Structure 1
Amino acid sequence: MDELIAGLAANPWALVVLAGIVFADAFLVVVPGEVAVTALGSVAVAHGLPPLWAVILIGGAAAFAGDVCCYLIGRLLHPRSWRVMQRPSLQRALDWAARRLRTHAATAVFTARFIPFGRLAVNLSAGAAMVPALRYLPIAAVAAMAWAAFQALIGAAIASIIPGGTVVAVIVSIVIALAVGWTVDFVLARVRPIE
């Protein structure tokens, strides 16, 4: 199994697939972008291919590209008027994101990177609220690269300390990435929003 994983990871298409998954994660919150980056980070350390720096760079660039597309959609298509966005929970998420972007743009963008619907809400809201691109884009770029580095380094750390080969490292990395996500969701669900 290790040889199969190593062969797949050594294929140049592995990074293209990673980019596609992470990019799609900007729009479809059910797509496991963080899991893909974490797993490939684990494989990168276990086998040396693809290089860890490439996993971080491609993952970050794809996340940034997805964020920019959501920003442009928000700016051009005004998501508040969409029928699907009329649900009260989605309106509250957009309101929260718009408030945070006005006062704490960097904190909002960085925090949203780690919250499943938060990333989409913040990026759409940044566009809809007409946050200047020169303010938003640098923050989004740094947040995307920091997120990719964090996810890949979780996988890399697990691969370097967990014995048992690549399969074990990938499984443990995915479980940890999911546990971190679920923990953030659990904590956020219990914290009352500050209005």
Structure 2
Amino acid sequence: MTDAWLQALAQSPWALPAMAALVVGDAFLVVIPGEAAVTTLGALAVAEGSPPLAAVIVVAAAAALTGDLGCYLVGRTAGLERWRWMRGPRAAAALGGARSALDRRGATLMFTARFIPFARLAVNLVAGASRMPMRRYLLLAAPAASAWALYQALLGAAVAALIPGGTVAAVIASVVVAIVLGAAADAIVARAQRRRAPDA
């Protein structure tokens, strides 16, 4: 990765569509780096002046909502046990926890889960499988997707503004910060679930 390569990426007409594709894919496969793509373009918006930060946020929000809606529709049409991976212990625990939490505090869960990869997938599938009305789903998912996009893009922009050393340093630092914050959120959620397990 070099400054020249990142400058070319920032100016490319494919930067935003590629980011959108990664964000949509990330809704289904958590190993796809959707967060890193948004954070990277947020950093480039500050370090290189392109693509525009507002465009990064709007495209990321639309892509996040599209991916989440896709998961919701999969849950609604296929249910929660159609594929073998859904019946594994980790998936079964995540889906069961999401179902229980969605019944108790749907709005909070939909918003919070958008920021946690495995939780996001589980909650969207369960929302569809439990036949949450589409209107209610969209009223919860759209603000969550917008907040997520705003957070990821502004995180990249803020780190790029604070880190000296050029574009490469800004992009690497912003992605590392995003990964660390994401891992911390995952660890906090896992710890909270372990604490609740004996009480269940």
TM-score between both structures, scaled by the size of structure 2: 0.93
Where does 1:92-111 land on structure 2 (aligned, <5 Å)? 92-111=93-112
Identity of aligned pairs, percent? 54
Please name the residue that 1:57 is paired with.
58
Structure 2 equivalent of residue 176 of structure 1: 177
Find the counterpart in structure 1 of residue 189 from structure 2.
188
Aligned to 2:88: 87
Match of 1:13 in 2: 14
Which string of whole-angstrom CA distances, capped at 9 and with x for unpartnered residues, describes residues 97-116 of structure 1? 11222221121111111212
Q: Give the superposition deviation at 1:189.
A: 2.5
DSSP 3-state at the match of 2:81:
helix
Structure 2: runs of 5 or more not aligned: none
CA distance in 1, matches of 2:91, 2:160: 38
1:71 and 2:72 are equivalent in the alignment: yes
Between stretches 90-99 and 175-184, larger displacement belongs to 90-99
Aligned to 1:157: 158
Q: SS where residue 163 of structure 1 aligns? A: coil
* Alignment partners' CA distance in 2, 1:106 and 1:11: 38
Moved beyond 6 Å, runs of 4+: none
Give the equivalent residue in structure 1 for 2:149. Answer: 148
The alpha-carbon deviation at position 53 of structure 1 amounts to 0.5
CA distance in 1, matches of 2:82, 2:13: 41
How many residue pairs get aligned? The number is 195
Q: Specify the code of the residue in structure 2 equivalent to 1:154.
A: L
User: How much does 1:190 deviate?
Assistant: 2.1
- TM-score, normalized by length of structure 1? 0.95
Gaps of 5+ in 1: none
1:49-84 alpha-carbon deviations (Å, 9 max, x no partner): 100011111111111000001000100111234322
Residue 3 of structure 1: how far off its partner (Å): 3.2
